[in-house]
Structure formats: structure tokens, C-alpha cells
């Protein structure tokens, strides 16, 4: 009885501190839209606020400090627009900035707000997916060098061998809408050959960058059918739904009108044209500056 009272007290206390608002989704550019669209499909009733830091993308080859500063600024911008929960729909930001933001910044900014990443939900799913226990990860230079995937996978599944391959040209191909071009084939084939020659027993390949699902058709073209390719969107969406089920106090401060606002640090027209390809619908976009 006492604990029930205490639980109610905490929930009331929490909601007094946080004003209801949309769920924030952040990426360096367009890639996070592959995550957002899966989340919207699974949870259409919620409101979302998407921010693409397109003017400073790609983040993939930038230093730890720069990715952290850019990500922190973006999270702050989403908090200022009313978000209480922000998803870093970017592996590079999740690998290089998430922990510092969670542990160092959030207690100072607002200890009730939350920031979550995309690596953990993907890693949790992988144990069920691989049979050979040999997994490959394709990602940006930053994500692969951080070793976040092998570290996180081996914490949960010590028997899985993880091999990484950095694909620095893949994000620019997507950001510049070259993902269907003939030129893209060279870079895709080259990286797939590299990772499979490092470990020919790989049966599961994680697309560890939210831009890469746009290259999926070409990736599949150059892989044996026995290798399954994992896009993160559905795992992140399911994990978010589960998080909100377990954290009623956060769910209560997420508004639910089925609306999404889009922000970019680049030209809105450029963003909306490209975003249409990802989302298959027209959207309105507002430009913001970050600092």
C-alpha cells in the first residue's frame, strides 16, 4: 500500500516538472528518417519532432568532441521545442555522445528528461537472429572505431564474434541522393567483399548506420542470400514502445495528436525534397540554427 502511494507520488511529481510534449528524433541528416518512419508506423498516435543537422553532416569521420558538441546542441534544441524524450537516431552520435549526455549533462539540464540511442535495441535483438554466431557490422568510421557494437554485443552474448567495417562513402552517397546510381555499386561491393573476407562465417549483417537502409537493394544484390541484413528501424521502434510501457511517467508527458514537425539546419526546401524519398510523403520543414 505504502509503495503504491509512493509510486503515485513519484508520477505526480514527475509530471509537474515536465510539460507534455512531442518525442524528439535526431540525426546528423536524413538517415534518422528511416527510424522515425518505423516509429510512426508502430506508434502513430504520438507527436514527434525530427531534427536533421544536415548543414554539418556527415558526422561519421568527425572527432569524439565534435560529435558530442553537435549532438548536445541538437538535443538542447529539441528540449527547447518541448521534447522530454529524445532518440538519437544516429549510430555515430549514440556511440560517441550518448553516454556523456546521459551521465554528465542530463543531471544538470533536467534530471527528468531522457535521451536514448539506437545501438542497444539493435544489440538486444541480435542474439536471436544469428545462427552461426558470426555477426558483421557496417557503420561510419566513428561507430566502428568506437567498438561500441562488439563491446555491447559481447556484454550480452559473449559467444558472438563481431567484425566491423567502416564505409565512409556510404553516407555521402545517401545525403547526395546517389544511392541508386551506378557509381554507388563500386563502393558497396568493395566494402561487402572486405567484411566477408575478414570473416566468411558471417550470417547476419547489421546496418549500423541509419542512412544505410536506403542502400539496401544494392547491398542485397552483392550478398549471398544466406546472409540476413538487419535494418535497425523496427527494433528501435519496438524498443521505444516497450520503454514507454515500462515508464508510464514518461508516456504521460508524451503528447498524442499524431503530428510531426520537421527541423533542419540546412535549406528547408532541400530537406523536404529529400525527406519525401525517405517518408514517401510531402512535409513542411523549418530551418533552425544550432549553437
Q: How many amino acids of this chain bind ligand DGL (CB under 6 A)?
A: 17
Residues 49, 83, 167, 209: which is the catalytic one?
Answer: 209
Q: Which is nearer to ligand DGL, 57 or 83 (CB)?
A: 57
Contacts with ligand DGL in 182-211 (CB under 6 A)? 209-211
Tell me if 174 contacts ligand DGL by CB under 6 A. no
Stretch that binds ligand DGL, among 3-11, 18-26, 28-36, 277-285 (CB under 6 A): 28-36
Tell me if 143 contacts ligand DGL by CB under 6 A. yes
Active site residue 49: no
Residues 49, 90, 167, 254: which is the catalytic one?
Answer: 90
DSSP of the chain: -HHHHHHHHHHHHHHHHS--BPEEEEESSSTHHHHHHHHHHH-TTS-EEEEE-GGG---TTS-HHHHHHHHHHHHHHHHHTT-SEEEE--HHHHHHTHHHIIIIIHHHH-TT-EEE-SHHHHHHHHHHH-SSSEEEEEE-HHHHHHTHHHHHHHHH-TT-EEEEEE-TTHHHHHHTT-TTSHHHHHHHHHHHHHHHHH-TT--EEEE-STTGGGGHHHHHHTS-TTSEEE-SHHHHHHHHHHHHHH-HHHHTTB--SS-EEEEESS-HHHHHHHHHHHHSS---EEE----
Q: Which is nearer to ligand DGL, 118 or 253 (CB)?
A: 118
Contacts with ligand DGL in 69-108 (CB under 6 A)? 90-92
Tell me if 119 contacts ligand DGL by CB under 6 A. no
Least distance in angstroms from the C-beta of 209 to ligand DGL: 4
Active site residue 209: yes
Q: Which is nearer to ligand DGL, 147 or 249 (CB)?
A: 147
Tell me if 140 contacts ligand DGL by CB under 6 A. yes
Contacts with ligand DGL in 230-289 (CB under 6 A)? none
Task: Tell me which residues are annotated as active site.
Answer: 90, 209
Amino acid at each position: 500500500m505504502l509503495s503504491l502511494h509512493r509510486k503515485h507520488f513519484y508520477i505526480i511529481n514527475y509530471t509537474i516538472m515536465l510539460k507534455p510534449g512531442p518525442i524528439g528524433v535526431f540525426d546528423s541528416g536524413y538517415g534518422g528518417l528511416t527510424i522515425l518512419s518505423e516509429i510512426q508506423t508502430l506508434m502513430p498516435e504520438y507527436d514527434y519532432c525530427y531534427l536533421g543537422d544536415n548543414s554539418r553532416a556527415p558526422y561519421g569521420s568527425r572527432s569524439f568532441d565534435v560529435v558530442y558538441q553537435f549532438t548536445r546542441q541538437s538535443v538542447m534544441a529539441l528540449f527547447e521545442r518541448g521534447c522530454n524524450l529524445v532518440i538519437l537516431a544516429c549510430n555515430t552520435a549514440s556511440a560517441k555522445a550518448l553516454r556523456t549526455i546521459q551521465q554528465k549533462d542530463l543531471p544538470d539540464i533536467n534530471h527528468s528528461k531522457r535521451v536514448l540511442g539506437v545501438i542497444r535495441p539493435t544489440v538486444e535483438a541480435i542474439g536471436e537472429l544469428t545462427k552461426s554466431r558470426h555477426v558483421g557490422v557496417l557503420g561510419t568510421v566513428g561507430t566502428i572505431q568506437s567498438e561500441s557494437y562488439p563491446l555491447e554485443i559481447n556484454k550480452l552474448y559473449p559467444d558472438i564474434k563481431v567484425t566491423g567495417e567502416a564505409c565512409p562513402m556510404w553516407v555521402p552517397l545517401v545525403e547526395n541522393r546517389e544511392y541508386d546510381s551506378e557509381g554507388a555499386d563500386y563502393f558497396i561491393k568493395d566494402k561487402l567483399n572486405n567484411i566477408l573476407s575478414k570473416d566468411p562465417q558471417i550470417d547476419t549483417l547489421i546496418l549500423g548506420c541509419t542512412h544505410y537502409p536506403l542502400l539496401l537493394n544494392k547491398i542485397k544484390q552483392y550478398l549471398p542470400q544466406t546472409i540476413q541484413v538487419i535494418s535497425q528501424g523496427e527494433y528501435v521502434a519496438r524498443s521505444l514502445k516497450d520503454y514507454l510501457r515500462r515508464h508510464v511517467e514518461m508516456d504521460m508527458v508524451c503528447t498524442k495528436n499524431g503530428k510531426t514537425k520537421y527541423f533542419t539546419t540546412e535549406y528547408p526546401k532541400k530537406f523536404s525534397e529529400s525527406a519525401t524519398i525517405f517518408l514517401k510523403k510531402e512535409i513542411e520543414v523549418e530551418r533552425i540554427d544550432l549553437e
